[in-house]
Structure 1
Amino acid sequence: MSKFFKWCGEQEKNRLGWLALSLAVHGCIITPIVVLTIAMTSNNFLLWIAGMAAMGGTLVVNLAAQPTKTTIPTFFLSLVIDLAIVIACVLPLVTQ
């Protein structure tokens, strides 16, 4: 884990690239997929909150111009949260 945070700190020279990647990928690809998955399966309000909080976390740390040591782990954590939401939505359909 410390190697990962060290690598994140070394990515400071690529901060704008990480900012663009995280906002574009999360805002234009991942969040719409999560929203459609929630809407088409359970439409559970708690999953809506979790999905929007994951996107909001990535957005806030990038707009606050935090260092990459903060933004990259936040981005990956939000991707894990979104993956968990999609699994939680799709799993009941698969196990029927």
Structure 2
Amino acid sequence: MATLAHSTTAYTNAPSANWLTSYKNFVARAEFNRFGWAVTALAIQGCLLSPTLLLVMAYFKGGDWQFLTSMLCFLLVLIPILSAMSVKYIFPAFATSFVIHLTVILITLL
């Protein structure tokens, strides 16, 4: 006689431990605190990165392209936040803006 409940352990796939799966799991868990992540990204962008770049530009005679890049990067972070997009759009926008800001600051300093 056949059993009524079958074990499905043979059919389950072990989750791969690559960075993309870890990132997707992190974003899924972070969606609950989207407001906190958005405020943190905006605070770092508006209170640390942009003023630091403007001060470096003022002391070391930065160009207009640096100011334009700074403002576009600020908008890159602000638009997903104000349009209430999910965290999976806020994180990459903030990471891109962070890298661009640090690159422009280092270019100006060197």
Whether TM exceeds 0.5 here: the answer is: yes
Shift of 1:5: 4.2
TM-score (norm 2): 0.76
Shift of 1:42: 2.8
Aligned residues: CA RMSD:
1.3
User: What percent identity do the matched residue pairs reach?
Assistant: 26
1:17 aligns with 2:36: yes
The answer to which of 37-46 and 66-75 deviates more is 37-46
1:85 aligns with 2:85: no
The match for 1:30 among 49, 55, 66 is 49
- May I ask how many residue pairs the two structures share in their alignment? 91
TM-score (norm 1): 0.86
Cross-structure match for 1:53: 72
- Summarize deviations over 1:32-79 as a string: whole Å, max 9, x none: 001111222132011111111111111111001110000011111111
| Higher RCO, 1 vs 2 (CA within 8 Å, ≥6 residues apart) | 1
The match for 1:63 among 74, 79, 82 is 82
More helix by share: 1
Secondary structure, counterpart of 1:58 in structure 2: helix
Q: Which runs of 5+ in 2 are unaligned?
A: 1-18
